Amino acid sequence: MAKDAGTNGPTGLGPMGSGLTRRDFGKATLAVGAAAAVFGNAPAFAQDKVLKVGVLLPRSGFLAQPGQACQRGADIAQTLLPQLGFPIEILGADTESNPDVARSRTEKLIQDGAQVIVGAFDSGQTTAAAQVCEQRGVPLVVNIASAPQLTEQGYRTIFRNFPTSSALVGNGLALMKDLFAATGKTPKSAVFLHANDTFGQANKAALDKLFPTLSMPFAAPEAISYDPKAQDLAVEVAKARATGAELVIVTTRANDAIMIVREMVKQRFEPMAVVSPGSPGMYDEQFYKVLGKYSDYCITNLPWYDPKSALAQQVGKTFKEKFPSDRYEGYAFNIGFTFEAILVAADAFKRAGTGDPAVLLDALRQTNLSEKIMFGGPIQFDEKGQNNAIASACVQNFKLRPTVVLPKASAEADPVFPMPGWQKRA
């Protein structure tokens, strides 16, 4: 694994981040100890040996499925991180997919001794938690939540290792151009099918804003929205087909992604590809189980785990040991970001040598983690607490498995574009 100068890794073998050497750190620790001896009272945080991480997730309610997938990331972190030299103790809390509960559970986690909060999958719940963390001066490391405002509202205690919705779409569109270049085939037109919910609307807004700046090889796609609770998308797919588009861009969840592909098969709508610039759905277990061979060749451009990263492989191995009957790929996105968020907190604790929130906040601001799971540069936060170095990968379904096809350096297979027709599949 590459180790950039000035970065620190989870194995603890790399140099400390932000120019802080072990010798400097030792001196600082001695100074704190001496000060404590002089003033008689050693600060309580000086004795912290284990970081108490409050993990706030929607483990029940309408976001239970991704929330429980994220929880697996926390379970793996609890097993793996101490082995890698990051002593942590995880305190879990269920937000019940409700911001009111998220707020009170954050208070409870802090009351129970959590020195850092990790969560909370959804922007509304994360903001509710952020309020409490800001008031109590406790760091909040966001695992998954894409509303740009989270790091624009002026919070001083928030750190997000997840792209904003506009970065998500921007990276997704840029990867489409890479896909066309890699395969030598370029579609001349596209249509955009999206769910008319918070996520779908945010993606559409980002697409509308970014499209003119990206010099895409086709005109701005016509947008067709649908109710995410709809039981049938025949009309929407028929409308998309009538546009004559060669590329179908989608923003979906699992259910609507299934309905769209099913209708495309029924209506013999054969575009060059179905591509999602960053939404879930087409790499979900449910998508493979329901659609079988028709799930193959669908493409999602999203932040993904780097299959060649040593840490991602370790996490995958631990996953297999803990959950032998499940496929890692089906959970990798949620597990990867949750694990990394906990890793970010644990790394800051290791460098700070204390769980004192003020010191921990400073350490978090100086984060520089190169050994990580997800694609992108070292984890670093800007002055607003946003990590801008998260990259996306082009993930194509092959034999009912999400497979990295771009970037080339980490590819597990070559991209297939245009995809084979629905009736030509074995």
Partner 1 sequence: MTTLFDQLTARGRVALGLFALALLAVPFFADGYLISVITLVLWFAYVGQAWNVMMGFAGQLSLGHSLYVGLGAYASAALFVHFGVGPWAGVWLGMLAATLAGAIIGTLGFRFAIRGVHFALLTIAFAEFTRIAFDHIGWLGGSGGFFLPVGDAAGANPFDLRGSPALFYYVILALTFGALALCRRLLHSRIGYFWLAIREDQEAAQAVGIDVFRAKLIAVMISAAMTSLGGVFYAFFYNNLFPEQIFSVGRSIELILAPVIGGIGTLFGPIFGAFILTPLAELVTWGVESAGLDMPGIKQIFYGLALVAIVVYRPEGVWPWVARHLRLVHQPGDQPSHRAGDRP
Q: Is 278 left (phi over 0), alpha (psi -120 to 50) or beta?
A: left
End-to-end alpha-carbon separation of the chain, Å?
Answer: 38
Strand, helix or coil for residue 296:
coil
Interaction residues for partner 1, span 62-121 (CB under 8 A): 64, 67-68, 92, 94, 96, 99-101, 103-104, 107-108, 110-111
Question: C-beta of 136: minimal distance to partner 1 in Å?
Answer: 6
Question: C-beta of 123: minimal distance to partner 1 in Å?
Answer: 6
Q: Which is nearer to partner 1, 200 or 376 (by Cβ)?
A: 200
Question: C-beta of 216: minimal distance to partner 1 in Å?
Answer: 23
**Does the footprint of partner 1 cover residue 165 (CB under 8 A)?**
yes
Task: Give the single-character DSSP code of 8.
Answer: B
**Does the footprint of partner 1 cover residue 192 (CB under 8 A)?**
no
Strand, helix or coil for residue 248:
strand
**Does the footprint of partner 1 cover residue 414 (CB under 8 A)?**
no
Q: Of the ranges 129-137, 173-181, 260-268, 383-391, which one interacts with partner 1 (CB under 8 A)?
A: 129-137
Contact indicator for 54, 114 with CB cutoff of 8 Å: yes
The tokens for 136 are: 């109590």
User: Could you give the angle at the alpha carbon of 286 between the alpha carbons of 281 and 290, nearest 5°?
Assistant: 110
- Selected binder of partner 1 within 127, 279, 300, 386 (CB under 8 A): 127
Strand, helix or coil for residue 214:
coil
Question: C-beta of 93: minimal distance to partner 1 in Å?
Answer: 9
Distance (Å) of CA 45 to CA 33, 113, 318: 11, 12, 31
Residue with tokens 């032998």: 324
**Does the footprint of partner 1 cover residue 253 (CB under 8 A)?**
no
* Site size toward partner 1, by CB under 8 A: 40
Q: Is 352 left (phi over 0), alpha (psi -120 to 50) or beta?
A: alpha
Question: C-beta of 253: minimal distance to partner 1 in Å?
Answer: 14
- Selected binder of partner 1 within 154, 184, 212, 324 (CB under 8 A): 154
Q: Of the ranges 180-188, 195-203, 278-286, 325-333, which one interacts with partner 1 (CB under 8 A)?
A: 195-203
**Does the footprint of partner 1 cover residue 152 (CB under 8 A)?**
yes
**Does the footprint of partner 1 cover residue 197 (CB under 8 A)?**
yes
**Does the footprint of partner 1 cover residue 29 (CB under 8 A)?**
no
Instruction: Name the packing angle between helices 332-352 and 357-365 (round to 10°).
Output: 110
Q: Which is nearer to partner 1, 142 or 411 (by Cβ)?
A: 142
**Does the footprint of partner 1 cover residue 132 (CB under 8 A)?**
yes
**Does the footprint of partner 1 cover residue 149 (CB under 8 A)?**
yes
Other CB atoms within a 10 A radius of the CB of residue 307 amount to 17
**Does the footprint of partner 1 cover residue 53 (CB under 8 A)?**
no
The tokens for 248 are: 């179908």
> DSSP letter string over 125-170?
HHHHHHHHHHHHT--EEESS---GGGGTS--SSEEE-S--HHHHHH
Residues at the contact surface with partner 1, assessed by CB under 8 A? 59-60, 64, 67-68, 92, 94, 96, 99-101, 103-104, 107-108, 110-111, 123-124, 127-128, 131-132, 134-136, 147, 149, 152-155, 165, 196-198, 200-202, 205
